[in-house]
Each structure stands twice: as C-alpha cells, then as structure tokens.
Amino acid sequence: MQQTKTYPFSKSDRLKSRKKLQEVFSTGSRFHSGFVKLLYLSERAGQPGIKCGVGASSRYFKKAVDRNRIKRLLREAYRLQQGPLQQLAVQTGSQVFLFLLFTGKELPAFDIVYKQTGNVLQKLITRINEVAP
C-alpha cells in the first residue's frame, strides 16, 4: 500500500493568541487576490514555522452557518497548499503569523477559494524570498 502525503493543520498551527492577532492586524503587511485578503507578520525570533488564522465578515454573512462554511473552506485550501510556505519558513528560520480573510459578498465555491488562496500564498512566498534571500 502506498502512503499518501498528509498535510496537517493542527491546533498548534493555528493563530490563537489575541496579542499576536492584534499585532498582525495593526502592524502586519497585507495584500489580496480576488476575495481573499492576507495579513501577515514575519519575525526571526522563536521557533521557525507558521501560525494561521481565518475569518469571514459578519457584515455580509449574517448567518453563522455561512461564516463557518467559508472559514472551513479557507482552512482546507490553506491546509492543502501550505507545504512550500512551511519549507520556506524553516529554511529562512523565520516565524510567520498570517490571517486569511474572506472579503466577498456571496458564498464561494471551493475551487474559487482554493485558487485565490494559492495565489495569495504564492505572493507571500515571493515577498518572504525578497526580504530574506
């Protein structure tokens, strides 16, 4: 039996610290691709790795069911595409805190979220490469 590659997104990989979340939102850099906005903060201190959080606005999605679905789609799209970013963080010895925010006004399909999340993560990889060659 052939083993498949697993891409975990455990509790230890999630951005849960209120202090770090406020720091990412206040001093972090940001850019977007389509309906997905990425806020990130990169530091050289601490253990190299990535902490990620996701969110959706309650302004456009009044029902918690819809917000939870969007967050689930964002987490899954990130989980499947985090590999190159994890490797880069370990190679450069940096700790990256990122937050994926869905800014659209309608419920998306998974393929749209997957594609836009991939675009945003590629932009992040190029930015980290520019800062730390």
pLDDT tens digits, 74-98: 999 999 999 999 999 889 888 999 9
Amino acid at 8: P
| Backbone angles phi and psi of 82, in degrees to 5 | -80, -15
Is pLDDT larger for residue 55 or for residue 1?
Answer: 55
**1: pLDDT strictly greater than 50:** no
Domains of the chain: 13-127 (3.30.230.10)
Reported as a pLDDT band with limits 50, 70 and 90, residue 6 is: low
**Predicted local distance difference test score (pLDDT) of residue 57:** 92
**Predicted local distance difference test score (pLDDT) of residue 114:** 96
Q: Lowest mean pLDDT of 4-8, 42-46, 129-133, name the range.
A: 4-8
DSSP string over 33-96 = ETTEEEEEEEESSSSSEEEEEEEE-TTT--SHHHHHHHHHHHHHHHHHH-HHHHHHHHHHT-EE
What is the residue whose two structure tokens read 């891409």? 7
**132: pLDDT strictly greater than 70:** no
pLDDT tens digits, 33-52: 889 999 999 988 778 889 99
What is the residue whose two structure tokens read 């989980």? 79
CA atoms within 13 A on the CB side of 15: 25
Q: Is pTM, for the whole model, over 0.75?
A: yes
- Residue 130 burial (C-beta neighbours within 10 Å; 0-12, 13-18, 19+): exposed
DSSP 10: -
Amino acid at 131: V
Give whole-number Cα distances, 132 to 9, 45, 80, 97, 125, in Å. 25, 14, 25, 16, 11
